[in-house]
Structure 1
Amino acid sequence: MPYWYNVDTKSVESDETRGQDANVMGPYATEAEARQALEHARENTERWDDEDREWDAKGATPGWDDEDQED
């Protein structure tokens, strides 16, 4: 059964207890994994930020400019 971390209530929910419009992260295989959702998200963000800095340091072309994009 999948588990979800509800960002608003800061609680773990299952498919049976999760509300239709709940603001959740997941699914996770276990309740324990769902409880660690914010920590994992922070770790991922830090890792991706480090990777971006390394990419930029190598002289890679920066991403596109949103101003150049058509609507």
Structure 2
Amino acid sequence: MSDKSPVQYWYNTSTGQVEEGTERSSWTNRLGPYPTREAAERALDTAKQRNDSWEEEEADWRGHA
């Protein structure tokens, strides 16, 4: 069994770059962690899809669909 943790990836909203491992920017500019570089690259799209879904659910809950 390995003591090594899986590599995690973050998306830096300030630079638009993917960061990996333990060296990363301030939490104020980061989305993640993500399990793969590709998932981190899609961070903004993923966040938009989730926000859109939550807004639809809230509108349905409030009866404003």
Give the length in aligned residue pairs: 57
What is the TM-score when the length of structure 1 is the normalising length? 0.74
- For residues 22 and 36 of structure 2, what CA distance do their matches in structure 1 show? 14
Aligned structure 1 segments of 4 or more residues deviating by more than 4 angstroms: none
Q: Which residue of 2 aligns with 1:38?
A: 44
Q: Which residue of 1 aligns with 2:34?
A: 28
Cα shift at 1:17: 3.9
Structure 1 unaligned segments of length 5 or more: list them. Answer: 59-71
Structure 2 unaligned segments of length 5 or more: list them. Answer: 1-6
Identity %: 35
- For residues 57 and 16 of structure 2, what CA distance do their matches in structure 1 show? 29
Q: Note the alpha carbon deviations across 1:20-69, whole angstroms, 9 max, x for none.
A: x25110000000000000000000000000000000008xxxxxxxxxxx
Query: What does residue range 1-71 of structure 1 map to in structure 2 within 5 Å?
Result: 1-19=7-25, 21-22=26-27, 23-57=29-63
